[in-house]
Chains A and B, each alone.
Chain A
Amino acid sequence: MSEGKEITKGRYRALAFVKGESLAKEKDREVSKDEVHTWPYLVRVEFLAAIIMTIILMVWAVALDAPLEDPSDPTLTPNPAKAPWYFLGLQEMLVYFDPWIAGVVFPSFIVIGLMAIPYVDMNPKGNGYYTLKERKFAIFTFCFGFHVLWVLLIIVGVFMRGPGWLWFWPWETWDAHRVVAETNYDLTQFVGIDSKSFLGSVIGGGVVAIYYFVTMTLPYLFLKLIGSETLQKLGIIRYSIVAFLFWTMMTLPIKMFLKLVFHMKYIWVTPWFNI
């Protein structure tokens, strides 16, 4: 009785075969209830997947030739000059942020943030199976970042951007001479303060500081107030990392909104960098 229980509970691995008497019943096809033999059950699926992939790739490669444009010419800049498609989300961010943010800081945060996921997700549920309701926040955050901010921006970059990185629908012809008269304003210019002045710079920096302070502190206090178990498990350091990365990610849709609706250029202008 207790022996049978142990067998169903624990997993065991076959490492080698040794000649001799065996306790295992070789006649049993079912090795154990929740395991199957890798050969043939897994290997045949892998083999099938490899064959199907080969067919797809072959058909694609026969039907469509890889692009080859004119020989490279450093004096002839194409308009627009687009990065490879998988980086177009980053290039699209250049509309809203300076290169040091869109091209360096945000990509670094994406990589660091992805790596941090297992160390800040303290939810023990949803380990090894599909579930939405047991980990709503994690799935919402990941899907928003991946599908909306990464994949959707790539689609915009590939299909909607023409000369001058202006918006062209796929059915529109690219007009290289289209000019969009657009004046952009820095945040403090809305209240009549020169954004390059010392005061403007201090206000801009203050707004950024207040943004992070408020977005990171208020949810903390709220979770503390309702006695959130999640917060207790997270602890202050993990909470701060999650909150900082989450609200940094959210600056992209916020900046998009401000730029598209209010023609806002910079929130914070300094002699060294602009945000």
Chain B
Amino acid sequence: MGNKSNKGSVSRILDLIKEKGVTGSIKDMILNSQIWRSFFRHGLEDTPKTRMETIIGNSFLHLHPAKVKRHAPLFRFTWCMGGITFFLFLILTITGVFLMFYYHPNVRDAYWDMKGLEHHVPFGMLLRNLHRWGAHLMVIAVWFHMFRVFMTGSYKPPREFNWVIGVVLLVMTLLLSFTGYLLPWDQLGFWAVTVGTNMARATPLLGHEGPFGSLMGMTAYNDIRFALLGGSLVGGNALLRAYIWHCIGLPMIVSTFLIVHFWRIRKDGGISGKL
């Protein structure tokens, strides 16, 4: 009995080869194997059903709806800027993780780690360049994204709240870039962050040089600038704080808001268009 069914499967394979040729039958057997079919839930033939299954059956692609409005893929409508911003965020996350392997967030090592990246780490300079220029590009892309969304009126109901989240993400992008600026611990970053955080001294009520700051009992050692820097000067504590905000705190906040931002696009009716 078993012998007979064995013969059956061999003859079935021979029939398949006769019908589809050797490569055709190999392809057929792979596509019908249990392993392949556990990976991919849909066939490969180009039908509307497959096209939709490709999107909804894929963890990453199902961020999209299965169908979009006809103008959604048009570059002249979206400028692709939101997607490019997210893509740059992913590039920055990956290059950032690699940079963390070679970086010590302390005053003694930080600057020389930059030199090490340049001279000792294979492709270290390229890695740092990608991260640096990618960050600049992301700031620019975020601004263009905001500008496009404004010009198409895409913040109007029902998308008001998603615009607000977008503004939060814009601010977070600038803060990410700003905290990263200090990490090379060179003159450029040190003084840029000194100039930037000196503004916090002048915060009304909460800064020791701001309006009513001294009335609130603010000094250089307890005001909002002190909280940001972990000291009254940009020093080791400020470097560590910038590092932790840059690598852990802000990326977590950004990721959370990104989830909401993307989810709300779907829930608020997909990409905007003429109503």
Chain A residues in the interface with B (C-beta under 8 A): 11, 13-17, 26, 28-29, 31-46, 49-50, 53-54, 56-58, 60-62, 64-74, 76-78, 81-87, 90-91, 98-100, 102-105, 111, 114-115, 117-119, 121, 123-131, 135, 139, 142, 146, 272-273
The 0/1 profile, CB within 8 Å of A marked 1, for residues 126-167 of chain B is: 101111111011010001001100111111110110011001
User: Please, how many angstroms separate the alpha-carbon atoms of A86 and B202 in the complex?
Assistant: 20
Whether A38 lies near B202 (C-beta < 8 A) is no
Query: Known: A70-B187, A118-B159. Contact between A31 and B48, CB under 8 A?
Result: yes
A81 to B194, CA, bound (A): 9
Given contacts A39-B52, A57-B130, A81-B194, could you give 16 more A-B pairs where the C-beta distance is less than 8 Å? A17-B49, A35-B67, A36-B72, A61-B130, A64-B133, A70-B186, A71-B185, A72-B185, A72-B189, A74-B235, A78-B191, A99-B201, A104-B203, A114-B170, A118-B156, A127-B157
**Is B196 a contact of A84 with CB atoms below 8 Å?**
yes
**Interface 9-residue window, one of B2-10, B15-23, B24-32, B171-179:** B171-179
A45-B80, A57-B137, A84-B177 given; A129·B274 CB < 8 A: yes
Chain A's nearest CB lies how many Å from the CB of B24?
24
Q: How far is the CB of B135 from chain A (nearest CB, A)?
A: 10
Alpha-carbon gap, A141 to B50, bound state (A)? 47
- The reply to whether A71 and B70 contact each other, CB–CB distance below 8 Å, is no
B210 within 8 A of A: yes
Question: Is the CB–CB distance between B272 and A119 below 8 Å?
Answer: no
Among A44, A85, A127, residue most surrounded by chain B Cβ atoms (within 10 Å):
A127
Interface pair B155/A118, CB less than 8 Å apart:
yes
Pairs A–B under 8 Å by Cβ, sample size 30: A38-B64, A43-B61, A45-B73, A45-B75, A50-B87, A57-B88, A57-B134, A60-B129, A60-B133, A61-B134, A62-B126, A64-B133, A68-B184, A72-B185, A73-B187, A74-B234, A82-B191, A84-B181, A104-B200, A104-B210, A111-B167, A115-B164, A117-B163, A127-B275, A128-B272, A129-B153, A130-B151, A139-B150, A142-B150, A273-B211
Interface centre among B114, B130, B146 (most CB of A within 10 A): B130
Contacts of B215 in A (CB 8 A): 272
Contact residues of B with A, CB < 8 Å?
Answer: 47-49, 51-56, 61, 64-70, 72-73, 75, 80, 83-84, 87-88, 91, 111, 114-115, 118, 125-126, 128-134, 136-137, 139, 143, 146-147, 150-157, 159-160, 163-164, 167, 170-171, 174, 177-178, 181, 184-192, 194-196, 198-204, 207, 209-212, 215, 233-235, 269-270, 272-275
What is the CB-to-nearest-CB distance from A180 to chain B, in angstroms, rounded to a whole number?
21
Question: B148: shortest Cβ distance to chain A, in Å?
Answer: 9
Are A49 and B83 also in contact (CB < 8 A) when A57-B137, A64-B129, A100-B204 are? yes
Q: How many cross-chain pairs have Cβ atoms below 8 Å apart between A and B? A: 256
Question: How long is the Cα–Cα vector from A25 to B204 in the complex, in angstroms?
Answer: 66
A125 surroundings in chain B (CB, below 8 A): 153
Closest to B186 in A: A69
Q: How far is the CB of A245 from chain B (nearest CB, A)?
A: 14
Distance in angstroms between the alpha carbons of A99 and B210 in the assembled complex: 8
User: Given the complex of chains A and B, what is the CA–CA distance between A134 and B91 in angstroms?
Assistant: 39
Q: Which residue of B lies closest to A45 (CB)?
A: B73
Please, which residues of chain A bring their CB within 8 A of the CB of B47?
A: 26
**Contacting residues, chain B, for A14 (C-beta < 8 A):** 52, 56, 65-67
Q: Decide if B111 touches A72 in the complex (CB within 8 Å).
A: yes
Contact, CB under 8 Å: B186 / A146:
no
Q: Report yes or no: B272 in contact with A103, Cβ–Cβ below 8 A.
A: no
Question: Chain B residues near A129 (CB, 8 Å)?
Answer: 152-153, 273-274
How many angstroms between the C-alpha atoms of A117 and B164 in the bound complex?
9
Q: Pick the residue among B52, B87, B114 that contacts A49 (CB under 8 A).
A: B87
The answer to whether A38 touches B66, judged by C-beta atoms less than 8 angstroms apart, is yes
Please tell me if the beta carbons of B156 and A126 are within 8 angstroms of each other in the complex. Answer: yes
Partner pick for B155 among A78, A117, A124, CB 8 A cutoff = A117
User: Is A53 a contact of B56 with CB atoms below 8 Å?
Assistant: no
Contact between B199 and A38, CB atoms less than 8 A apart: no
Residue from B67, B88, B146, B212 within 8 A of A38 (CB atoms): B67
- Once the chains bind, are B187 and A78 in contact (CB under 8 Å)? yes
Considering the complex of A and B, which 4 residue pairs feature the smallest CB-CB distances, nearest first? A103-B199, A72-B190, A118-B160, A99-B202
Least distance between B7 CB and chain A CB atoms (Å):
33
What CA separation (Å) do A47 and B226 show in the bound complex? 45
